[in-house]
Structure 1
Amino acid sequence: MTTAPAPYPIGTPGLPWGDEERAEWLSRQTRQRSYASDVLSVVDRLRSRFDVEEYGHLDYGSESYPLMTIRSREWRDDRPVVLVTGGVHGYETSGVHGALQFVDQYAADYADRVNLLVAPCVSPWAYERIHRWNPNAVDPNRSFRDDGSAGESAALVRLLAPLRDRVLMHIDLHETTDTDETEFRPALAARDGKPFEPGGIPDGFYLVDDMEKPSPEFQQAVIEAVERVTHIAPADDSGELFGSPMVARGVIQYPLKQMGLCAGITDAPYRTTTEVYPDSPQVTPEQCNASQVAAVCAAINYALAHR
């Protein structure tokens, strides 16, 4: 006999959250790590080799967060722009540290060929709380549109508005974790007053392509590079990954712009979202970061070879 999942501890099943429920949810969030120590200190160390700029600022109660980008020092209009984003969901750790590791180890290899723009931690409040949402219980990765309600997303939209049609490649670094199934999807269902439907978490790395403008060869080039570092997620018994049909090995598709996802923020012909699985017994945190780095390098290499 199948046991129904227990109701989420906040709210009334079937009823969307109001201000009281959101306040209760916020009261349960605790700071578990430091954006200043883990991210800003690393960004500061990169200032000797790259241009570092503050593109926005978030103020949540007594807490204040500068939003930082790392740019190529020799920015030229005749070079293509490549965009790397991480930490859109703050709990997805390798997205943040993989982006920083790429800049430290490999960004200089592309300095004479691209204008590189990296936003390593789009959601610092959520990074500190190891959470998906911002303090208003809003998912920034559904808010990358002109009318989006997340300040994290709005700041990046403003930054990229002048570059939207100049970006050659955008890779957005994410993770799919066991807590997607145990905490974040149940919380989403409760927030929206909908029933929670349990699913499965893919064991391995996969990518999310753009359903409206797919780039299958580009996606496979990234998959092949990452496979040298970690395993690729197989489809489940229904031929799906995380509830979506697997259209190619290790690849699913979403309508990026329609859903307000970060990877759809520009008109880049080459764009993808990585999904690392850090809870697999087959990987270490170092492998997770290295997977993100391998994906970024492969994505840039392919885009430059096929521009």
Structure 2
Amino acid sequence: MATPYRIGTPGTPWGDKERADWLASTEVQRSYTADVLDKLTALHDRFEVREYGALSGPSKAWPRDRYPLFSVRTKGWSAAKPSVLVTGGVHGYETSGVQGALQFLHTLPDRFVERFNLLVCPCVSPWGYETIQRWNAFAVDPNRSFADGSSEESKALIELVASMEVERWLVHVDLHETTDADKLEFRPAKFARDGLALDAAGAYFVSAIPDGFYVVGDSLNPQPSFQAAVIDAVKRVTHIAPPDEAGNIIGSPIVQEGVINYPVKELGLCASVAAAAYCTTTEVYPDSPRASDQICNDAQVAAITGALDFLLNEGIT
């Protein structure tokens, strides 16, 4: 039997008091400025680094410039080049999504700069990054709010993507993690917030956390060869998550090695924001005994480069 979440009454959705109690229970645990913004400084010579918004915060005590949102784009943006979007830190606590995006920018091969327009948003949810939270400060999951822009984080990114002079986005790689905290903290919090009932065994319907890397494709546009190329690239860096005994990863059936599919637009996922011809959401498992922070970052970089090399190798531009 699961222990009731520390905030709220089981079976009753949260109101303003519970959301305020939850916010009060969070705390800053690391620095967005030191970990992200300072690393953007060295990129100015090679890229255009632009602020595309800022989080307003839940109170006047939070100055608007505390969490500015930055994008990094290749210089010489051209309508003749295919356009690529890379996003990290949509869930702020998923560290390698942020650091992997930054590592990609700092090690970006010239062949990609020459062939693609690249737009990278390394930390979509900076408050979540600092507090190591899945939600934003209003207890809203940014990665379920891209259908309607119902979080500040998603609204700002939607507006940024729409403002770009792009007829069609070719690729979107959205960098994520699946961690033990998903099972221990974030799923119980979601059940409490939404007043959801537990299963017959008194549990939170949590599947086993997969040990390894996997990707989530779009069930309406799965692009299996593209997803396979991403998996093959990551195999050189780290292990791929096996399915469970039922043939599933996090409750969804695998469609090929290391690949499951979701209806990304219907669920309001970030992977839908650009309506890219090829999209994938990466998931690494940083709590694996076979992984490290650097391996997770390297896996995210391998996923991006594998995706772009697939397009070049197949002549898809």
What is the TM-score of this pair, normalised by structure 2? 0.93
Where does residue 20 of structure 2 map in the other structure?
A: 23
In structure 2, what residue type is equivalent to 1:149?
S
Question: Which structure 2 segments of 5+ residues have no match?
Answer: 199-203
**Cα distance in structure 1, aligned partners of 2:128 and 2:152:** 12
Which SS does the other structure have where 1:84 is aligned? Answer: strand
1:159 positional shift: 0.7
Where does residue 201 of structure 2 map in the other structure?
A: none
Question: Which structure 1 segments of 5+ residues have no match?
Answer: none
Once the two structures are overlaid, the 10-residue window that deviates more, 156-165 or 19-28, is 156-165
Measured against aligned partners, the alpha-carbon deviations of 1:245-288 in whole angstroms (never above 9, x if no partner) come to 11111000000001000011112111000000000000111100
Question: Match for 1:222 among 225, 230, 234?
Answer: 230
In structure 1, what residue type is equivalent to 2:20?
A
Where does residue 231 of structure 1 map in the other structure?
A: 239
**Cα distance in structure 2, aligned partners of 1:214 and 1:18:** 38
In structure 2, what residue type is equivalent to 1:229?
V
Where does residue 69 of structure 1 map in the other structure?
A: 71
1:57 positional shift: 1.1
Where does residue 206 of structure 1 map in the other structure?
A: 214
Once the two structures are overlaid, the 10-residue window that deviates more, 232-241 or 98-107, is 98-107
Where does residue 182 of structure 1 map in the other structure?
A: 184
Where does residue 285 of structure 2 map in the other structure?
A: 277
8 Å contact 1:165–1:268 — kept in the other structure? no
In structure 2, what residue type is equivalent to 1:23?
A
8 Å contact 2:252–2:260 — kept in the other structure? yes
8 Å contact 1:16–1:191 — kept in the other structure? yes
Which SS does the other structure have where 2:54 is aligned? Answer: strand
RMSD over equivalenced CA pairs, Å? 1.1
Question: Match for 2:7 among 6, 10, 31?
Answer: 10
Q: Paired residues, what number?
A: 303
8 Å contact 1:270–1:303 — kept in the other structure? no
Which SS does the other structure have where 1:207 is aligned? Answer: strand
**Cα distance in structure 1, aligned partners of 2:54 and 2:78:** 27
8 Å contact 1:71–1:118 — kept in the other structure? yes
1:300 positional shift: 1.1
Q: What is the aligned-residue identity percentage?
A: 56
What is the TM-score of this pair, normalised by structure 1? 0.96
**Cα distance in structure 1, aligned partners of 2:79 and 2:277:** 18
1:131-280 aligned at under 5 Å gives the runs 131-145=133-147, 147-163=148-164, 165-194=167-196, 195=198, 196-280=204-288
Measured against aligned partners, the alpha-carbon deviations of 1:73-122 in whole angstroms (never above 9, x if no partner) come to 11111001011000000000000000000011025331111111000000
Which SS does the other structure have where 1:257 is aligned? Answer: coil
Which SS does the other structure have where 2:287 is aligned? Answer: coil
Question: Match for 1:41 among 38, 43, 67?
Answer: 38
Where does residue 117 of structure 1 map in the other structure?
A: 119
After TM superposition, which residue ranges in structure 1, 4 or more long, deviate above 3 angstroms?
162-165
**Cα distance in structure 2, aligned partners of 1:262 and 1:11:** 29
1:303 positional shift: 2.4
8 Å contact 1:165–1:266 — kept in the other structure? no
In structure 2, what residue type is equivalent to 1:190?
A
Where does residue 93 of structure 2 map in the other structure?
A: 91
